[in-house]
Amino acid sequence: MSTQPTSTAIVQPRSLVTRLRWLAGQRALWPVLALLLILAVNGIVSPGFFNVRIVEGRLFGNVIDILYRATPTALVALGMAIVIGTKGIDLSVGAIIAICGAMMAWRIQAGDPHVVVLLIALATGLLCGLWNGFLVAILNIQPIIATLILMTSGRGIGLMINLLYGGTNPSFESPFLQGLSVGRIGLVPTRLVVFAVVFTALWLLIRKTALGLFVESVGGNSAAADLAGISSRLVKYAAYLLSGLLAAAAGVIIVADTHTSDPVSQGLFVELDAILAVVIGGGSLAGGRIYLGLTVIGALVIQALTTTILTSGLPPEYNLVVKAVVVLAVLLLQSDNARHAVTDIFRRRK
């Protein structure tokens, strides 16, 4: 009788420690925790941060704004997650956005129906993905070099497209395209609905067909995948096509929002945010795994952080530094080696 409580008291702490260790090892924990922490800080600093109200027939508030502004980055990041899953990388996504924007302005100026303009923009993204896939999968050029070619030339291509119609007035009006970007369906911004549809379709493609398994197999070991009968070239091609298509979709949203073609600044540095979103979501540049949902969380972390910095009143010159420090902190929390080092320090002090 006297020994049972003692035994239970010993077992319970061990069980709790085991559970905490299991929880700490979950990939979803740290990006979600980081997002909640950033939102909580905003809630403390700005008491009305979580207020959501209806303005001019649509939902309005800081949380809605974070979702709204994160949509283009999240679309690009989803494509990047698939490419990184094959052990590749796509540095050209920002340039693809610039090219698609220039194509949209050109064809609208030429008088094409705006539905056709949308299809042309998406086809342009596919064409860019086809080019990157050719360099990586067929010519076997290193992905970082292959996509760097389009990254450096893409904005120049966009400016050359602008010259096709004189380039003097790259702005346009398109109720259809602008409706996809800044419109609303009921109370919900249209771009959020578009993103939900794209994400669901992509998730079904990756998780309910063999494509996701093939991508992870190629990223894990390309030679072994070939021996197993999986065409690594075809899988890499598919990954870059999807990345180009999703970058084009993000380009449609960005360009329709500003209703002008600006190849110099549109989509600038989005490739870095997309890579960060994948890494914050637990993805490894070594390839072999795809985390679509966590990649979206990563994009939300980046946008929430940007919103926090802007609303905090920090001078603009500190913005990128603070952003880099917070991202580094999230990555350190995800690192098993960093966590073990911190744990060892506390053990030695005891």
Mean pLDDT value across residues 124-139: 96
Looking at residue 140, its pLDDT comes to 92
pLDDT score of 344 more than 80 = no
pLDDT score of 285 more than 80 = yes
Q: Which two three-digit tokens encode residue 216?
A: 């992870």
pLDDT score of 64 more than 70 = yes
Q: Which residues pair with 203 in a beta bridge?
A: none
Looking at residue 125, its pLDDT comes to 97
Mean pLDDT value across residues 261-281: 90
Mean pLDDT value across residues 250-275: 92
pLDDT score of 41 more than 60 = yes
- Per-residue pLDDT tens digits for 196-215: 999 999 999 999 999 999 99
pLDDT score of 325 more than 60 = yes
Lowest mean pLDDT among 23-27, 51-55, 325-329: 23-27
pLDDT score of 229 more than 60 = yes
Name the DSSP letter for residue 91. Answer: T
Looking at residue 169, its pLDDT comes to 74
| Average confidence score pLDDT of the chain | 87
C-alpha to C-alpha distance for 147 and 128, rounded to whole angstroms: 10
pTM above the 0.85 mark? yes
Lowest mean pLDDT among 2-16, 33-47, 266-280: 2-16
- Per-residue pLDDT tens digits for 71-111: 999 999 999 999 999 999 999 999 999 999 999 999 998 99
What DSSP assignment string belongs to 276-308? HHHHHTT--TT-S---HHHHHHHHHHHHHHHHH
Mean pLDDT value across residues 330-348: 71
Query: Could you give the C-alpha distances from 308 to 149, 210, 313, in angstroms and in order?
Result: 35, 40, 9
**Which of the four pLDDT bands, split at 50, 70 and 90, describes residue 126?**
very high
Looking at residue 315, its pLDDT comes to 75
C-alpha to C-alpha distance for 336 and 35, rounded to whole angstroms: 20
Percent of the chain at pLDDT exceeding 70? 91
The single residue listed with the structure tokens 């008491």 is 47
| Whether 296 contacts 77, CB under 8 Å | yes
Looking at residue 49, its pLDDT comes to 86
